[in-house]
Structure 1
Amino acid sequence: MSTDTDAPKPLAANEGIKTASNFLRGTIAEELKDTSTGAISEDNQQLTKFHGLYLQDDRDVRIERRRAKLEKAFSFMLRVRLPGGRCSAAQWLVLDKLADEQANGSLRLTTRQTFQFHGILKGNLKPLIKGMHATLLDSIAACGDVNRNIMAPANPERSPAHAAMYDHAKNLSDYALPKTRAYHEIWLDDELVAGGEPEVEPLYGPTYLPRKFKVGFAIPPSNDVDVYSQDLGYIGIVENGQLVGYNVTMGGGLGMSHGNEQTHPRLADLVGFITCDQVNAVGAAVIATQRDYGDRTNRKHARLKYTIEDRGIDWFKAEVEKRSGVTFGPAREFAFTTIQDPHGWHECADGTWFYGLHILSGRIKDRDGWLMKTALREVAEIHTGDFRLTPTQNVTISGVTAEGKAAIEAILAKYGLDKENERSPLRLNAMSCVALPTCGLALAESERVLPEVIERFEAVLESAGLSDDAISLRMTGCPNGCARPYLAEIGFVGKAPGKYALYIGAKYNGSRLNRMISPKCTIDEALEMLTPIINRYAKERSEGEEFGDFCERVILPADATFHSVGTVEATA
């Protein structure tokens, strides 16, 4: 006799939307023509994510508009697909112009090495996407239940191994793209060919993945991409200067929900070693296994990390080996020591130079006395190489010739950008998500308050004699973790207006998660809690001991008692 618990769970609502969408078309094209509203329907809001778009509104003016009986101040955010963060100077100039003409005038560099446009009105979407297309850029699969923008170390020119890794990342990105023509039909006015073969998605199927999927490539000793946070990670193994293969990691992911103990950040498992020619086969097998076994009934339980937790890494590894025809070898030795981007001038193996420029929170715009957007436009107008976006929301001016170096230096000095890299290591490592006013998920401020948070912690560090210490501090407006706060030595996660869950103790190199010491505190309370810990670190740390390791060793024993405000004391 069957019971209620034997009955299959109903699928999540998004599964029905995808099934009925005709390979991500829905009624997007029809709704774009509706000028009576700046919004689109809820179903199409889910589908446009696969096209790289999110519907948002300006939350700063919600109450004012409600009182005036106006609809919300709707606009769209568009995310560019940019594998490994590579952008030509010509493409930069087009994106710069589109930001002014079709969006809110700024460009935002994301923590996945790509651009976001904000403030795009509904009628400006097609002109912006067509403008991108003209310079060979798109936003296909930048969001949605698919493989998203693939991360890789910036500046492939640094070594032959870096160059080979970029090629592997780009090839996997192209291989894992959805094959539907919906994007081209809706945004670029391509016509659906009548009488052709039925459309298929050979990798994804008609309902795509249960949830988003993220891939990152890292090359030790730098873990700039936070490879353990990725669903699928490739750690490059270099021997005699050549990339010989990858250690593969599976099952990372940082998103969670406050108050839901079934959700949590998770670091990926190290599975084993593969050769360079096996990258795509393993990637496709991992994606397909998650496609078939991921939870489609509960989107909060739908990421690969939960599939692996439920079924076990040994089962998952065996399934990937069966589907790919690849047998993993023993993992090779490697070591990560840093996450920080290289700033300033660096010479590459091919004789060119690159300049790493720090950009706090990745926001590129002009403001009074600080014309960063104008400066980078002037660089792009004379630059013969590329721009590379980094995993820490910074940019590098890459492929600079010896002849071009002086001219770029002059532009940076003219606008004061040459001083930006002289900031504290705390600031150079810091990251934040966009949060308010546009992100609909934000519970608290992030980007807008980060400068104040950094300044206040800089004062504490200076007082403790730690101004030169590279401590990672990251802040997000909600627990989804876009700025990877759970891998920060100090992490702020938005809980309510002005309130944050506070975390400490991650390993600086990204190989250990932090732990929560306060479920809800203000920035003032966080400073009150952390100041004595920072002072203890200055006085009691071991030689070479990093802040996160000190917290894990001294401040975070299993029997610690944490106070919402005040010091953290270990019980006897």
Structure 2
Amino acid sequence: MPEIKPEHSEVEHIKERSNYLRGTIAEGLADEITGALADADTQLTKFHGFYQQDDRDLRSERKHQKLEPHYQFMVRLRLPGGVITPDQWLALDEISRQYANGTLRLTTRQTFQFHGVLKRNLKPLLQAVDRAGLDAKGGCGDVNRNVVANTNPHRSALHAEVHEWSKRISEHLMWRSHAYDEMWLDAPPSDEPDAEPIYGKTYMPRKFKIAIAIPPENDSDVFANDIGLIAIVEDGELVGFNVAAGGGMGATYGEPATYPRLGTVIGFCTPDQTLDVVEKLVTIQRDYGDRVERKHARFKYTIDDRGVDWLTSELVKRTGFELGEARPYEFHGNGDRFGWVEGDDGDWHLTLFIENGRIADFEDYKLAEAMRELARVHEGEIRVTCNQNLVIAKVKPEARDAIQQVVDKYDLDNGERNTALRRASMACVAFPTCALAMAESERYLPSLIDKLDDVMREAGLADDPIVIRMTGCPNGCARPYLGEIAFTGKAPGKYNVYLGASFTGDRLNKLYRENIDEDEILAELTPMIHRYAEEREDGERFGDFVVRAGIVKATREGRDFHDDVGPAL
């Protein structure tokens, strides 16, 4: 276990002296004078599943009124593989209306976020979540985050098996302190002393993410994770996983030492080896990750600093065996397949497009009401995808008409209501709640898509998807560096534009233009989209075209992300 030294970041010292993540959170909750928690405790509450935020739309007004910021919290659930029951959906919907801002947010990691939670509502919200059979433990913080997997565990026995792996890994890597049960669920102090056999008292240097994918679908964006497991199937049986290590999306403007990176495939493991391999990779990052500079604390930098050969050698030391040679695989895309799909067992599954993952009742689109009605008539399960969409899963043939009636009644998008471009888009939350946001994202992307849709129609590409990602900052929550076109916020109304990621999620994009507004974005992309329509080869995707045409250079290594930026001359 790593020893915390004076030169380590203050967050490391906060964790070490926190009494296994308790800190003074309980005292802060009892303080009714302020809506905030102490700064040190806001580092610890992340492990319990929530971030302290404030409503940035109200900052200036409240400051003028000499009031403290309108503090509130974002709560994120742990939901390995993204599967819940209809009853759990109804419970979460009720929780959002009773204790949050009345909406649910589907995340890019197959789980739910509540926004606008006041401090006094944190404990009753988490208790209500517990009564629904769910939790927020490890939703955030310097631990393994929500384990994600392919879209639908009920399409086949193989998908079900992979989903079980997501749950098994999540449970194996869960932090073990009794603090969550004691503080939020009023559990009595345990007779067993606190211990963290995997993490130790200081946990991980930074967050850690794991994804599983079943080729040919890469809807979990497996290479964007610290560990990616690629299911290898032979004669219809899961024989093991190719292991990718060192993926991650975050970067910092003006600091070329930070960059997104795709995971490197380091070998193959059998099912009986998988948990050991995953755990030992976690412990390697625990022991060698940077605990001085948090911007340099992800697994990707540990690997690039020391080398892949070092990583595989260290893994052999800890497991006692070598990984096998990686097996062949192929990905065809990283999006969702919309509409009805029949599973191997005859049940049906319906994927619905949810724009940017926001479940709410809009003026002309009663999505939250529709989902409540679906949950009341549906007897199967509901699945969150890594692209912020929903799968109504395990629909019996005789129940399909009842589900379709609700879809028709509320004009839900089963792949027909919106354009292919919009369905391939994704945004992070950004304003008004995210403290890191430099520009709008969720609230702005739909209107930009309106204008890009016009360009696509004019170019004869109305039915063609282009993967578009937008974030309010460079930290990468919506995986922007895997967008064929991507925008990261630089200032209010200004974005960096990236081009050239692959449609299958195995190539990064490249910075094309920096700090430009909507008019400049459209001026750059309009002729480029028309050129794509005229010059593309059969089946060629937009990201591949801009690389082949020399508009940007291909980026396969994270350390090359900042090289040769800008439009080609």
Q: Which moved more, 1:175-184 or 1:517-526?
A: 517-526
Closer, same or farther: CA 419–230 of 1 in aligned 2, 3 Å: closer
- List per-residue Cα deviations over 1:377-408 (Å, max 9, x = no partner): 11111211110000000001001111211111
Specify the alignment match of 1:118 in structure 2. Answer: 115
Match of 2:51 in 1: 54
Alignment equivalent of 2:361, drawn from 362, 366, 372: 366
Answer yes or no: is 1:265 the counterpart of 2:247: no
Q: Tell me, in whole angstroms, the C-alpha distance in 2 between the residues paired with 1:222 and 1:485.
A: 19
> Does residue 234 in structure 1 map to residue 250 in structure 2?
no
Distance in 2 of aligned mates of 1:360 and 1:189: 38
Give the letter aligned to residue 279 of structure 1.
Answer: T
Contact map agreement 1:88 1:385 (CA 8 A) in 2: yes
How far off is 1:422 after superposition? 3.2
Distance, in Å, in 2 between the alignment partners of 1:155 and 1:109 is 16
- Within a 5 Å distance, the mapping from 1:85-234 to structure 2 comes to 85-193=82-190, 196-234=191-229
What one-letter code is carried by the residue in structure 2 that aligns with 1:190? Answer: A
Matched, 1:550 2:545: yes
- Aligned residue in 2 for 1:378: 373
CA contact (8 A) 2:339 2:415 kept: no
Q: Which consecutive residues of structure 2, in runs of 5 or more, have no partner in the other structure?
A: 555-565
Question: Matched residues in 2 for 1:419 and 1:197: separation?
Answer: 50
TM-score normalised to structure 2 length: 0.96
Aligned residue runs from structure 1 range 528-547, under 5 A: 528-547=523-542
Question: Residue in 2 aligned with 1:256?
Answer: 251
Query: What are the superposed Cα offsets for residues 449-508 of structure 1, whole Å, 9 maximum, x if unpaired?
Result: 011111111111111111111110010000000000100000000111111111001111
Secondary structure of the structure 2 residue equivalent to 1:249: strand
Matched residue type, 2:387: T
Output the amino acid matched with 2:478. A
Cα distance change on mapping 1:410 and 1:502 into 2, 3 Å: same
C-alpha displacement of 1:199: 1.6
Amino acid aligned to 2:26: A
RMSD (Å), alpha carbons: 1.3
Cross-structure match for 1:26: 23
Contact 2:26/2:183 (8 A) holds in 1: yes
1:85 alignment partner AA: G
Aligned partner of 2:557 in structure 1 is: none
In 2, are the aligned partners of 1:474 and 1:485 still within 8 Å (CA)? yes
569 and 163 in structure 1: CA distance in 2 versus 1, 3 angstrom threshold:
closer
Q: Which residue of 1 aligns with 2:514?
A: 519
Report the residue type matching 1:485 in the other structure: P
**Could you list the runs of 4 or more consecutive aligned residues of structure 1 that deviate by over 2 angstroms after TM superposition?**
418-422, 555-559, 568-571
Alignment of 1:280-299 (within 5 A): 280-299=275-294
How far apart, CA to CA, are the structure 1 residues paired with 2:550 and 2:103?
Answer: 41
Q: Secondary structure at the match of 1:508?
A: coil
2:537 & 2:85 partners in 1: Cα distance? 45
- Counting aligned pairs with the same residue, the percent is 51
Q: Give the structure-1-normalised TM-score.
A: 0.95
Q: Which consecutive residues of structure 1, in runs of 5 or more, have no partner in the other structure? A: 1-7, 560-567
Q: Structure 1 486/558 Cα, relative in aligned 2: closer, same or farther at 3 Å?
A: closer
CA deviation after TM superposition for structure 1 residue 367, in Å: 2.0
Return closer, same or farther for 1:83/1:286 CA change in 2, 3 Å cut-off. Answer: same
Give the aligned residue type for 1:436: F
Within 5 Å, give how 1:454-533 maps onto structure 2.
454-533=449-528
**What is the CA–CA distance in structure 1 between the aligned matches of 2:152 and 2:40, rounded to whole Å?**
40
Measure the CA separation in 2 of the matches of 1:475 and 1:261: 21
- CA–CA separation in structure 1 for the residues paired with 2:450 and 2:240: 42
Indicate the residue corresponding to 2:64 in structure 1.
67
Bigger mean CA offset, 518-527 vs 243-252:
518-527
AA aligned to 2:371 is L
Equivalences, count: 554
Residue 112 of structure 1 and its aligned partner are, at CA, apart by 0.4
Q: C-alpha distance in 2, partners of 1:181/1:537?
A: 56
CA shift, 1:276, in A, is: 1.3
Partners of 2:169 and 2:356 lie apart in 1 by 28
